[in-house]
Amino acid sequence: MARLRTCSLTWAALIILLLPGSLEECGHVSVSAPIVHLGDPITASCIIKQNCSHLDLEPQILWRLGAELQPGGRQQRLSDGTQQSTITLPHLNHTRAFLSCCLNWGNSLQILDQVELRAGYPPAIPRNLSCLMNLTTSSLICQWEPGPETHLPTSFTLKSFKSRGNCQTQGDSILDCVPEDGQSHCSIPRRHLLLYQNMGIWVQAENALGTSMSPQLCLQPMDVVKLEPPMLRTMDPSPEAAPPQAGCLQLCWEPWQPALHINQKCELRHKPQSGEASWALVGPLPLEALRYELCGLLPATAYTLQIRCIRWPLPGHWSNWSPSLELRTTERAPTVRLNTWWRQRQLDPRTVQLFWKPVPLEEDSGQIQGYVVSWRPSGQAGAILPLCNTTELSCTFPLPSEAQEVALVAYNSAGTSRPTPVVFSESRGPALTRLHAMAQDPHSLWVGWEPPSPWPQGYVIEWGLSPPSTSNSNKTWRMEQNGSATGFLLQENIRPFQLYEITVTPLYQDAMGPSQHVYAYSQEMAPCHAPELHLKHIGKTWAQLEWVPEPPELGKSPLTHYTIFWTNTQNQSFSTILNASSHGFVLHGLEPASLYHIHLMAASQAGATNSTVLTLMTLIPEGSELHILLGLFGLLLLLSCLCGTAWLCCSPSRKNPLWPSVPDPAHSSLGSWVPTIMEEEAFQLPGLGMPPITKLTVLEEDEKKPLPWESHNSSETCGLPTLVQTYVLQGDPRAAPTQPQSQSGTSDQAGPPRQSSYFKDQIMLHPAPPNGLLYLFPITSLL
């Protein structure tokens, strides 16, 4: 219940605080200035009245600028019981924001009061004030630049007054002109103006932080009048008027009607429609005349023209440019020189092929619409008979039998060029010599010659594809006017990898020399394919190859050399270079019964090409040869073994380790003390389960101490010494022992006794039968 009562009291307090009447009675915010310079400090205070203090004995007052809490508030209780909080913002960097006084109540902020703050700049001085008198609207229009942004509501007012002097003394005031919001121009109506009287004009800018005024402008409205442009049009053709000259335009214009009583001057500008040419200015135009002939233009060219006018000689402003007028200049007769060249048909000598090229004599030589070839018969005075009328640069026509000369002219709508005579002369001059041609690059050919004597007046150079194709049947030609020239670079209609036929003909006065021909490639290609390799003969270590050289091809660079490459199964590559005249080669040093891959490369200055790969295997050696080789190898092995054996036998250092020296017992020092009568005893080793020893010979010295087992009977032989060495020989242990053998030295088959400086006595055992085992027990005693 207590918790519910606390929540009810909290909601009741919030409802009371949210009521408008309660907010007005609770707190109030006051500031030092609501509008300040941007960045300046501002001080604010908030007072909470006494009737609101029952919410909390010591209420906490907070400040908020926009959405951010501001620290630094100083809070105190006044003598009348009210609470006061004061805050100073050192820099107000917001152009517009709300400063709120809040009460921290519960878990939320309650706004008690707030005030709007503005910050900005005072208005700058308006600049570039100018005025124009518009006769169309009969008003004085003034405009200016307001300056930088102030961030505050700023008003502009156009102020003016009438003055009888130079605006030093102010006369009657003129009604202020206030522009619309956001605009920087204003119009003063005609009823407030005296057109020929001075008036002072300025602009005043004002906001909450200050006022500024522009420099004063002193003028007469008619001194700043701006006329409307006249209307351009073309002149109507008149039978009495002469047609315009080539490259000229005849113009006229209609002035603006309200400005008929005003003296003015005009100027014209023009530019070609095609291209990106700039405007060309012409003026001033004559004052009284309303027509004009514009010359010096390109013939047969479309132009765009505009005109504008200004009050003159009194002050004024230029009008805007008039709407554009588009006119085309007249043509002029072609002013060209025609270089001509002709030749006769081989099958029909009376059929002539005439070629020509126009050479402009001036920069603006006029456009050419066509060409006419004509001749004048000798018997008909004044008669001109056309032979050919074409737009091409050549013509083929039958030449009349009596015609020795024809005339060639170029024409257009304005007239014809000067006739160029073409004389068909049969006289021949000397021919040039040493004509040659070579490619400079894929798109040019250099043709050279040695001039004949005397020098000709010029040369005609023709070139074209050889043989000519249906799409490129026409040849290109040009005339070289320098008779001392020794060559010319052909760059027109040259394509790479093509064969061209070049013809050069010397020209003389009323004669020409015989034509000379030469063929050349603009760029040669590498061989298309290399000759195919063929195997002619093959052996065990060699192979003979041959090939058929490819015939020379047009457009292909001649071969410079061949290169043969061969590779074995171990990827070891070999090569050799042959001259271009070779058609075979023998490979030596091959391995028998081996596989090889061979190919041929044909090379020229333009590149190289490989042939297909030829694979071959060398022959296997025959059987007789194999036997000889095996015999030689066996003989060599036998000789090696014999040499090794002789070396081992003759070398003492190698003989002793393999065959150590065995002493002869019969001739050793033991023979001096061997007794003459040997006792033979047969005994068995106890506990060994072995067959009995067949024969035992004991060697004793005369005064030697008897051995332990010699002083006892055979029953005591079990006590053998611990040092016993057993030698096992191949035999059957179950075989019966044989009879005792002779004890001569030749019957002893035992191996060499072990010699030692510490032992004197040795035991010699006679061998057992072949199918038995022989056990040797060396019994030694210390000296």
DSSP 479-504: EE--TT--EEEE-SS--TT-EEEEEE
Would you say 480 and 449 are in contact if contact means Cβ atoms under 8 Å apart? Answer: no
Check pLDDT > 90 for residue 586.
yes
Question: Is residue 520 within 8 Å of residue 468, measured between CB atoms?
Answer: no
pLDDT digits (tens, 9 = 90+) for 251-266: 888 888 877 788 888 8
357 bridge partner residues:
339
pLDDT at 111: 84
Lowest-confidence region among 153-162, 166-175, 707-716: 707-716
Q: Is the pLDDT of residue 771 over 50?
A: no
Q: Are 694 and 684 in contact (CB under 8 A)?
A: no
Residues in the chain: 783
pLDDT at 682 over 60: no
pTM of the model: 0.47
Q: Write b or e for each residue in 153-191: b if 16 or more Cβ atoms lie within 10 A of its Cβ, otherwise e.
A: ebebebbbbbbeeebeeebeebeebebeeeebebbbeee
Domains of the chain: 22-120 (2.60.40.10), 127-226 (2.60.40.10), 231-237+245-328 (2.60.40.10), 336-422 (2.60.40.10), 433-521 (2.60.40.10), 533-618 (2.60.40.10)
Query: For residue 335, what pLDDT band results from cuts at 50, 70 and 90?
Result: confident
726 vs 729: CA distance, rounded Å: 10
Greater pLDDT, 486 or 683: 486
- Mean pLDDT, rounded, for 653-680: 56
623 — pLDDT class (breaks 50, 70, 90):
low
- Cα separation, 427 vs 424, whole angstroms: 9
- Predicted confidence band at 652 (pLDDT cuts at 50, 70, 90)? low
Q: How far apart are CA 424 and CA 346, in angstroms?
A: 15
| CA atoms of 386 and 521, how far apart (whole Å) | 41
- pLDDT given at position 782: 35
Q: Residues 460, 445: contact at Cβ < 8 Å?
A: no
Determine the average pLDDT of the residues in 65-91: 83
The per-residue pLDDT for 423 is: 83
Q: What is the DSSP letter of 470?
A: S
CA angle 543/546/548 to nearest 5° reads: 170
Cβ neighbours of residue 658 closer than 8 Å, sequence gap 6 or more: 648
The arithmetic mean of pLDDT across residues 440-469, rounded, is 84
Q: Is the pLDDT of residue 539 over 80?
A: yes
**Of 159, 143, 157, which is closest to residue 199 (Cα–Cα)?**
159
Residues 120-146, mean pLDDT to the nearest whole number: 89
pLDDT at 347: 67
**Residue whose entry in the numeric block shows the structure tokens 């050289």:** 549
373-378's contacts with Cβ under 8 Å and 24+ in sequence apart are 373/397, 373/406, 373/407, 373/408, 373/422, 374/406, 374/407, 374/409, 375/400, 375/403, 375/405, 375/406, 375/407, 376/407, 377/402, 378/402
Confidence band (pLDDT; 50, 70, 90) for 234?
Answer: confident
CA dihedral 187, 190, 195, 198 (to 10 degrees): -50
